[in-house]
Structures are given as structure tokens and as C-alpha cells.
């Protein structure tokens, strides 16, 4: 998994961040994985990412977390 940035809300180091995965079914009855990064320190969670396999879902969740926590000067 990609390295996670610090929590943008409480500035907690990445060791306190966990990646949660839930199995869901989409409207076509296909099993998908919903994954998001959560901060154990302040309870914040990143946007959910959806993918058909857990590895991709975790990667996407990490990506969106880092994207939000990063600089906004792009």
C-alpha cells in the first residue's frame, strides 16, 4: 500500500491511520470492496474508494486520503 500522509485534521502520524474494507454489492449484484482510511486519534475518515478487489480498493483509499491531505497548490 502507498505510504499515508499524516492526518490533515489532527496531524497524527500515519501509524494511527487504519484502512478499513467492507464488502458491498453494487446495483448489478456484483461484489465490490469499499475502502477508506480512518484516523484512530480523531476519528476522521477519508473518502470511500470502491474497487472490485481489496488491493485496488486500499490503494485508491490511500490515494484519495493523500490527495485530500496534501497541498492545494496544484
Residues between 35 and 54 with contacts to Zn ion, criterion CB under 5 A? 39, 41-42, 44
Please state, as a whole number, how many other Cβ atoms lie within 10 Å of the Cβ of residue 2.
12
Query: CB of 16: closest distance to Zn ion in angstroms?
Result: 7
Closer to Zn ion by Cβ: residue 9 or 68 = 9
Query: CB of 14: closest distance to Zn ion in angstroms?
Result: 10
Q: How far from 9 is each of 40, 52, 57, 69, CA to CA, in Å?
A: 12, 29, 23, 9
Q: Rule CB under 5 A: is residue 59 a binding residue for Zn ion?
A: no
**Footprint of Zn ion (CB under 5 A):** 7, 9-10, 12, 39, 41-42, 44
Amino acid at each position: 500500500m502507498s505510504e499515508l500522509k499524516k492526518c490533515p485534521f489532527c496531524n497524527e502520524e500515519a501509524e494511527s491511520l487504519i484502512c478499513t474494507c467492507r464488502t458491498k454489492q453494487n446495483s448489478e449484484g456484483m461484489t465490490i470492496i469499499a475502502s477508506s482510511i480512518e484516523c484512530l486519534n480523531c476519528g476522521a475518515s477519508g473518502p470511500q474508494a470502491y474497487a472490485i478487489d481489496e488491493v485496488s480498493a486500499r490503494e485508491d483509499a490511500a490515494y484519495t486520503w493523500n490527495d485530500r491531505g496534501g497541498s492545494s497548490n496544484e
